[in-house]
């Protein structure tokens, strides 16, 4: 019988997430539910519930569980929300989001990762996640505006198209900074005539990748 890692998942949430201050009931429940081991390469499954990022191929990583939970909590999501994710990666973050909102639209620049994530999400039953391969800098205008946008790679500055595709009252969470310098996780809230910004904590994300134009 395949290992389902339920005990490891519960321990991950209690020791890495709740103990460090993430206590939104919906986020905690989602983190306890999503099988992270099914979103990492087979050879790393035994490490899936450790407090660390893991390689997923193509020089990309799956974020550590705490960061996934922390970013999700700070979006203050509602069940009716429509969310845009930039940087699908393995699909794990999208799976967590899918349990909290109406729909998730996620973009990944590496086609092979898009295909892997789409398959994993479908096999796990997360049917309100819509994936496409493309340059996330431009967002996904077809489905805008979004109640929340989450970016899982670090650009040197916030892409303007993402701000434009954010609904009034919408929240954008994004790591910003140079590849080799200090990056900060930032939260933006879009008001009628301004953008409110808050720096949350220093982080280390893979760099934001662009298509060659």
Instruction: Supply the CATH number for residue 66's domain.
Output: 3.40.50.150
Of 14, 33, 52, 63, the catalytic one is 63
The answer to whether position 13 is within a domain reads yes
Q: What is the pLDDT of residues 121-137, one digit of tens each?
A: 999 999 999 999 999 99
Strands 54-57 and 60-62, by their bridges, are: antiparallel
Q: Does 208 map to a domain?
A: no
63 is catalytic: yes
Q: Identify whether 38 is part of a domain.
A: yes
- 171-204 per-position pLDDT tens digit: 999 999 987 778 999 999 999 989 999 999 999 8
Q: Which residue blocks in the chain are alpha helix, DSSP H? A: 6-12, 25-33, 65-74, 92-98, 111-124, 160-164
Q: Show the domain range for 157.
A: 6-203
Evaluate whether residue 213 is within a structural domain. Answer: no
Domain count, the chain: 1
Nearest to 179 by CA among 149, 150, 155: 155
For residue 139, the model assigns a pLDDT of 97
Q: What is the pLDDT at residue 1?
A: 39
pTM greater than 0.85: yes
pLDDT of residue 6: 93
The reply to whether 209 falls in a domain is no
């Amino acid at each position: 019988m395949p290992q389902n890692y339920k005990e490891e998942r519960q321990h991950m949430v209690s020791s890495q997430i709740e103990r460090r201050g993430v206590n939104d009931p919906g986020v905690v429940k989602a983190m306890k539910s999503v099988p992270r081991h099914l979103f990492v390469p087979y050879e790393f499954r035994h490490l899936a519930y450790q407090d660390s990022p893991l390689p997923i191929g193509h020089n990309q990583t799956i974020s550590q569980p705490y960061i996934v939970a922390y970013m999700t909590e700070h979006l203050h999501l509602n069940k009716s929300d429509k969310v845009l994710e930039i940087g699908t990666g393995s699909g794990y973050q999208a799976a967590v989001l899918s349990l909290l909102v109406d729909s998730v639209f996620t973009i990944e620049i590496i086609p092979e990762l898009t295909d892997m994530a789409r398959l994993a999400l479908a096999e796990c039953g997360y049917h309100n996640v819509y994936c496409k391969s493309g340059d996330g800098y431009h967002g996904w205008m077809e489905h805008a505006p979004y109640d929340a946008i989450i970016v899982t790679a670090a650009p040197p500055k916030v892409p303007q198209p993402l701000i434009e595709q954010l609904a009034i009252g919408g929240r954008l969470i994004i790591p910003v900074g140079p590849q080799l310098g200090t990056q900060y996780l930032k939260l933006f809230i879009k008001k009628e005539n301004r953008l409110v910004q808050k720096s949350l904590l220093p982080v280390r994300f893979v760099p934001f990748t662009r298509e060659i134009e």
